[in-house]
Chains A and B, each alone.
Chain A
Amino acid sequence: DAGITQSPRHKVTETGTPVTLRCHQTENHRYMYWYRQDPGHGLRLIHYSYGVKDTDKGEVSDGYSVSRSKTEDFLLTLESATSSQTSVYFCAISESDGLVQYFGPGTRLTVT
């Protein structure tokens, strides 16, 4: 998985609780992305980062925030988890052109 780890790999949480997912890369790539994967929707971009402290919204950003304080780490936070955020979350990284993206192993999140 191209030097990408995600933690935790599985999490069950209750509605209304905060959740933070971590993506860590060892490739020193500039771009990092968070996607969610749901049946019938493919993968949809939540947020992305184009450098340390440089982030922007994707297609489905409502209810999510991100932070990138170091090149190697990109955090995704659900401030108050809802059942609609039950999904599999994937981190991806890309080198200088931001086109060729490599994905991590994913985090399965269940909000009850």
Chain B
Amino acid sequence: GENVEQHPSTLSVQEGDSAVIKCTYSDSASNYFPWYKQELGKGPQLIIDIRSNVGEKKDQRIAVTLNKTAKHFSLHITETQPEDSAVYFCAASNPQTGANNLFFGTGTRLTVIP
């Protein structure tokens, strides 16, 4: 199956700075890459996703980049705010595994220091 690695496991930034979280995947057949934000005691919330036919996608302060050749993708958060503090998960979907199942990274705990 797919193997997704995520780095770093923890990240602290000053408010207003940028944060970058990186993920790599193992199966070149994977073609869908979502990012989820999870706040304490809640379920993961989809914040942005990218499909393999594009290299970058932006939504306000959040962007995701994809390098299919290197099999890695990254989440970029600009102008960070305290409410961005949460655990972020990347995932990859391999259509060959059935029902487009998602394989998740192990998460990055982002802390934005006011």
Contact = CB atoms under 8 A, between A and B. Distances in A.
Interface in B15-48: 32, 34, 36, 42-46
A92 B42 CA distance: 13
Contacts of A90: 43-44
A9 to B, nearest CB: 10
Interface stretch (A35-43, A65-73, A75-83): A35-43
Interface stretch (B56-64, B65-73, B76-84, B101-109): B101-109
Interface in A91-105: 94, 97-105
A74 interface: no
B101 A58 contact: yes
Give the interface residue-count category, chain A: 20 to 34
A66 to B, nearest CB: 13
B85 interface: no
A106 B45 CA distance: 12
B70 to A, nearest CB: 21
A98 B99 contact: yes
A68 to B, nearest CB: 13
B74 interface: no
Given A50-B99, A98-B99, A42 B104 contact: yes
Contacts of B43: 1, 4, 90, 103-106
Contact of B99 (A31, A40, A59): A31
B111 interface: no
A106 B42 CA distance: 7
26 contacts: A1-B42, A4-B43, A40-B106, A42-B4, A42-B104, A43-B89, A43-B104, A44-B104, A45-B102, A45-B103, A50-B99, A56-B98, A58-B101, A59-B101, A59-B103, A90-B44, A94-B100, A98-B100, A99-B32, A100-B34, A100-B46, A101-B46, A101-B102, A103-B45, A104-B43, A106-B43
Interface of B: 1, 4, 6, 32, 34, 36, 42-46, 49, 89, 91, 93, 98-107
Interface of A: 1, 4, 31, 33, 40-45, 48, 50, 56, 58-59, 90, 94, 97-106
